[in-house]
């Protein structure tokens, strides 16, 4: 979180069955849940989750991160992808990241493509279980960009990003 912000995280009180987070707003201590934004609480929750996995002697060699960046939180998206994930990978952790935000998935895929990440798409939950597919092929990405190009302005902007990613994948291949 931004240490220069007028509303920021201040402290934590731990107990055997609870955790109380305190924030500070213009020098006044307040309950963090009541005064931090969703994005700030999300960042704070991630930092506590990372702390558990990074503690020396921790038996965990991986982190499972579910929806690390909220759909409306563009400010933290690039920071997570380029700084936080790089630091976690440099510490030798295996990362399992689940997200419904296509921009986050594509950003991680593009940034860490050289590491050969496994990318799966889980869809169509059936009585027998979900349908799990490998990442889209170049042909599927081109078809998706064509379908997006026929949509509204946001979809057309996203289609340009998909085409750019297709060209990068083609060059890498």
Place 86 in a pLDDT band, splitting at 50, 70 and 90. Answer: very high
C-alpha distances out from residue 117 to 42, 102, 121, Å: 25, 16, 13
98's CB contacts (< 8 A; 6+ apart) are: 64, 65, 66, 67
pTM: 0.62
The residue written with tokens 């924030």 in the block is 23
Bridge partners of residue 65, in order along the sequence: 97
Give 19-42 pLDDT, tens digit per residue.
888 888 888 888 888 777 777 777
- Confirm if 63 and 48 have CB atoms less than 8 A apart: no
Give 111-148 pLDDT, tens digit per residue.
887 777 877 878 778 888 888 877 767 787 788 888 88
Quote the pLDDT of residue 66. 85
């Amino acid at each position: 979180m931004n240490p220069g912000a007028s509303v920021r995280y201040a402290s934590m009180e731990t107990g055997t069955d609870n955790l109380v987070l305190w924030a500070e707003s213009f020098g006044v201590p307040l309950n963090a849940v009541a005064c931090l934004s969703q994005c700030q609480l999300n960042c704070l929750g991630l930092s506590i989750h990372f702390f558990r996995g990074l503690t020396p002697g921790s038996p965990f060699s991986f982190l499972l991160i579910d929806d690390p960046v909220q759909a409306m939180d563009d400010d933290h998206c690039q920071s997570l992808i380029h700084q936080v994930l790089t630091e976690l990978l440099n510490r030798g952790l295996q990362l399992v990241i689940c997200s419904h935000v296509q921009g986050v998935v594509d950003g991680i895929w593009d940034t860490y493509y050289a590491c050969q990440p496994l990318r799966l798409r889980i869809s169509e939950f059936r009585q027998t279980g979900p349908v799990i597919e490998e990442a889209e092929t170049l042909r599927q990405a081109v078809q998706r960009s064509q379908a997006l190009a026929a949509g509204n302005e946001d979809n057309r902007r996203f289609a340009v990003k998909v085409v750019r990613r297709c060209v990068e994948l083609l060059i890498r291949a």
